[in-house]
Chain A
Amino acid sequence: MPKLTSVRDLEELRREILSERGGEDPNRLWIAICAGTGCLALGAGRVIDAFKAELEKRGLAEAIEIKETGCPGFCEKGTIVVVNPAGICYLQVRPEDVPEIVEETIQKGRLVDRLLYEDPITAEKAIYEDQIPFYKHQMRLLIKDNIKINPKNIDDYIALGGYRALAEVLSGMSPDEVIEVIKRSHLRGRGGGGFPTGVKWEATRSASGQPKYIIINCDEGDPGAFMDRALMEGNPHSVLEGLIIGAYAIGSSQGYIYVRMEYPLAVENSLLALEQAREYGLLGKDILGSGFDFDVRLHRGAGAFVSGESTALMNALEGKVGEPRPKYVHTSQSGVWNRPSCLNNVETLANIPLIINSGADWFCSIGTERSKGTKIFSLVGKVNNTGLVEVPMGMSLNDIIFKIGGGIPGGKRIKGAQTGGPSGGVIPEEYLDTAIDFDELTNLGSMMGSGSIIVLDEDTCAIDLARYFVDFLCDESCGKCVPCREGLRRMREILNGIVSGKGEEGDLDKLEEIARLMRAASLCALGRTAVNPFLSTLNHFRDEYEAHIREKRCPALVCKPLVSYFIQPEVCIGCRLCQKSCPRAAISGEEKEASVIDQSLCTRCGVCLDVCPPKIRAITKTSGKSSDSHSSGMRNANSGSSHKASRGDRS
């Protein structure tokens, strides 16, 4: 493929691609199949193979294109198949459904009803994406193209108008003008900090020293967040285009993509994107004949959460251990190899082409007063529709969880939502109505972070969750500064004590003191924000902490050492399923007689409760003083918490 040496070449190429693809024929059939990590894990690979084989068998392989696309976000319902040009959206497609889709929809033009989305309440079917509530209430600017393009083929991106923003920038805008547009758009960094992107670019541009570096941060370490993965995997060129524009604006000739290696597909697709962009001359010397030189290298992270911190990431790029360094001088002045460096998040950069194409005013018309544009959230945890949702800033968590997420599975009650990953906090039910943006979330004691929303139901223990994050950060703390290293360890010790029934009066005061110190004295943001999960849960769920410490009771029945399992003798039918699955052989009893759990052997793994047939539900789980005196049946649970074996809390 010849290199593109001018903006005209790019437009020419776009026309060629479109005409080659029968741009004039709007009836051309093609099938989009999500091949993102989520769907692949659910078996999308086999669905793709089945389609190829079926089309081959029917002699349609030539006429109908199969596109392996990026992730459209509705991971709960994978594998997702969209039959175009009509846009018929089939969900949870399995290989055995494929012949029917080909025969009915492709050949006869009829719908396969059972694969369409069905509203759980009205049982109404939805044919197209935009009729499905999960999509209907979103505003999909960044991830809308994921289901239309094959991320491994640059032509797909170009066909949809890709690199037009870059062409506009290189052919008619000065770097200062680009920075001005981004500043006017009030775009704020999507990686968590929310720092204005235009200001960051300006600072790097005006810093002295050459060369300058610009870096994509795709070290998405927050557990439960995967929007950067979806963009980098599903539409890498949109991010790359943003990067090249950024490089032009700040005057950089060398860029980096930093991807965590837990995302192998994102690594693969990014490398391909770089190669293809280079072939077309969209990277390299004299890009589109503008005289601007820029190239990009990919760096894989090697499994360290702290390496997503800006200075740590820059250390890693230099081949050193990815630990933070003190920020006496901002990285825009002195970053990688002590040169001016600009680090931008994946989602931030994906916004850049949109802003250039549609203008800062358009961008400002979306969102709240101080947070503009959309934000992709990953909606996970105890929610019906897990997946990626892109909404305008300012939507309430309630709307996201109930209108888009479809509420809580198993008829359970919502307890709250955790946002911002390990640096964020828990927002209890009563505040879920707040319109969320960068500042509102901070006001609530949490933060935007990279945008994970982990929905918690009544079966989630606030203390166990705080302990989980402290434990996570304890493992991930690099150990360079004392407040973070020692503070987290002591917090972990105390919290582990509380969840195992060894909590003492005064524990909470100690934890608060440690938290104050860590917040004031840690070297980097990991340590300074590590206390948020604890402080926010203490703030909103102090009574639960007190129940653990004073009554040795876990109200949510989660903390293992504080719960016990009992078999109700009058309910048990003696099927002995629980006996067979108990890993410690702690359950005994004859067939057709009630089984009994030997509490001294029981490890509280809960397998018995999982396997007890839903019709029987003979096993109870309790916590609190009442459980101590029982040896077999648990007939009433007045003073303790208890609930019957409940199914369906994992749909």
Chain B
Amino acid sequence: MVDREKVLEIIEGYRGQDGILIQLLLDLQAEFNWIPREAISIVSEQLRVPKSQIYRIASFYKAMSLCPVGRHSIQVCMGTACQVRGAQKVLDLTGSRLMIKPGETTHDMSFSLRRVNCLGCCAMGPVIVVDKDYHGNVTAEGVDRIIERYD
């Protein structure tokens, strides 16, 4: 169940301002790690915005997720600099190690894998970000070591 009070508190922070729907959904995403259906109902009812409009935004943006994600989020940077330094291989290996595809979550809900477009730390590509930790110059052997650390 979603903590209704928490959702109301986030909405309250934006009361009276225009054009805040995206910001509000980002805050919900940060709070719950995804955007639960109940939260969308509460936002819709409080702001008098059709649910369809909220779903439209939440499904458009990469930073928002409409299904629960794993305890650890793994982002593999697919920016051009990482790409020419072998990011595809790193993504493939991470996926095969976790037995999921990008955009999916492991069965035990421990990891979600996501591709991300350039994090702007191109000097250390290929880059993997687990939760908030950046790992640079990732090699084939490095992938295993990184995942093990969070297992």
Contact = CB atoms under 8 A, between A and B. Distances in A.
Partners in one complex: yes
Nearest to A41: B134
Interface string B101-123: 00000000000000011111111
B14 to A, nearest CB: 10
B26 A37 contact: no
A485 interface: no
A319 B21 contact: yes
A56 interface: no
B63 A302 contact: yes
Interface string B67-99: 000000000001111011110010011001100
Nearest to A302: B61
Interface in A225-268: 225-226, 229, 261-263
A304 B84 contact: no
B33 interface: no
Q: Counting chain A CB atoms within 10 Å of each CB, which of B19, B119, B141 scores highest?
A: B19
A518 to B, nearest CB: 21
Q: How large is the interface on B (under 10, 10 to 19, 20 to 34, 35 or more residues)?
A: 35 or more
Contact of A418 (B25, B63, B80): B80
A380 B63 contact: no
A183 B21 CA distance: 37
A535 to B, nearest CB: 17
Contacts of B85: 381-382, 650
A319 B20 contact: yes
A574 to B, nearest CB: 20
A261 B30 CA distance: 11
Nearest to B133: A41
A377 to B, nearest CB: 12
Contacts of A220: 120
Contacts of B121: 37-38, 41, 75, 226
Nearest to B84: A381
Contacts of B83: 223, 468
Q: How large is the interface on A (under 10, 10 to 19, 20 to 34, 35 or more residues)?
A: 35 or more
A223 B18 contact: no
A454 B84 contact: yes
B117 A606 contact: no
Nearest to A479: B60
A381 B125 CA distance: 9
Contact of B56 (A321, A452, A581): A321
Nearest to A650: B85
A609 B108 CA distance: 33
B41 to A, nearest CB: 18
B123 A75 contact: yes
A304 B122 contact: no
A414 B123 CA distance: 18
B122 A380 contact: yes
Interface of B: 18-23, 25-26, 56-57, 60-64, 78-81, 83-86, 89, 92-93, 96-97, 116-125, 127, 134-137, 139-141
Interface of A: 37-38, 40-42, 75-76, 78, 220-226, 229, 261-263, 299-300, 302-305, 316-323, 337, 378, 380-382, 386-387, 418, 421, 452, 454, 456, 460, 465, 468-469, 472, 476, 478, 581, 583, 605-607, 610-611, 650
